[in-house]
Amino acid sequence: MSERRQHWNRHYQAETANYPLPALVLQQNQHLLPKHGEALDLASGLGANALLLAERGLQTQAWDISDAALVKLLIEAERRRLKLVTQQRDVTVAPPASASFDVIVVSHFLNRGLCSYITKALKPGGLLFYQTFCRLKRGNDGPKNPQFLLNDNELLDLFSTLLPRVYREEALLGDTEHGWRNRAMLVAEKIGEDK
C-alpha cells in the first residue's frame, strides 16, 4: 500500500466529527447542474459532494486514494438511500478517461499535472466545479505546503480552455473578518470538443 494511501487512511479512520458538508462551490451553484448525466467527485474523501450529486439525480462516482474514506461514504449513502459508485484510485496514476463525465467536482485537492486530464475528461457541454485553498489566506486554514496552494487567479489559468461561469477569490482585500476567504472557486463549462 502506498505511503499516501496509508496517510489518508489513518486520517479517515481517526475522523469522528459530523459528516462534512458539500463544498460551497457546489452548494451555491447546484442550480447549474444538468438534470441527468454522469458525475465524478474526484479525490472525494468522505464524498459530501458525491452525496449532493447523487441526490440531484446524477449517476455519481466518487474516487479517492483512501479506501477508509470510501467505506464511510458507502455507509452514509446507504443511510440516505442514495446510489453511487466508489472507486479506490490514485488519480495521479489513473486519471479519468477523455470525455467520460458531464460534471466533475474537485474540492480541497490540487495536482496541477492532473488539470489537463480533468479538462479532457469532461464531455462537450460538461461542467467543472473546483474549489481549493489559496496562498493569500488568513490564519492556519488549509495546507502549509505552497505546492497545494493556488496563486492569484490560478484556477482560471489551469482551466483556461474552459469557459468560466462563476469565479470567486477575495484574497486579503478589505475587511478580512468578512466574506469568503482562503479559497478560490470556479464553475466552468466545456464548450465543444478537445482540439
Ligand X SMILES: C[S@@+](CC[C@H](N)C(=O)[O-])C[C@H]1O[C@@H](n2cnc3c(N)ncnc32)[C@H](O)[C@@H]1O
- Give the residues lining the site for ligand X (CB under 6 A): 4, 8, 20, 23, 43-45, 64-66, 69, 90-92, 107-109
For residue 59, which amino acid is it? Q
Going by DSSP bridges, is the β-strand pair 183-189/122-133 parallel, antiparallel, or unpaired?
Answer: antiparallel
Closer CB to ligand X, residue 33 or residue 105?
105
Closer by beta carbon to ligand X, 44 or else 60: 44
Smallest distance, ligand X to C-beta of residue 191, A: 26
Which lies closer to ligand X via its Cβ, residue 23 or residue 184?
A: 23
Least Å distance, CB 107 to ligand X, is: 3
Cell numbers standing for residue 19? 459528516
Nearer residue to ligand X within complex by CB, 4 or 138: 4
Shortest distance in whole angstroms from residue 108 CB to ligand X? 4
Q: How far is the CB of 163 from ligand X (least distance, A)?
A: 24
Residue 52 vs 163, nearer CB to ligand X: 52
| Chain residue whose CB lies nearest ligand X | 45
CA atoms within a 13 Å half-sphere pointing along the CA-CB vector of 119: 21
Residue 143 CB, nearest distance to ligand X (Å)? 8
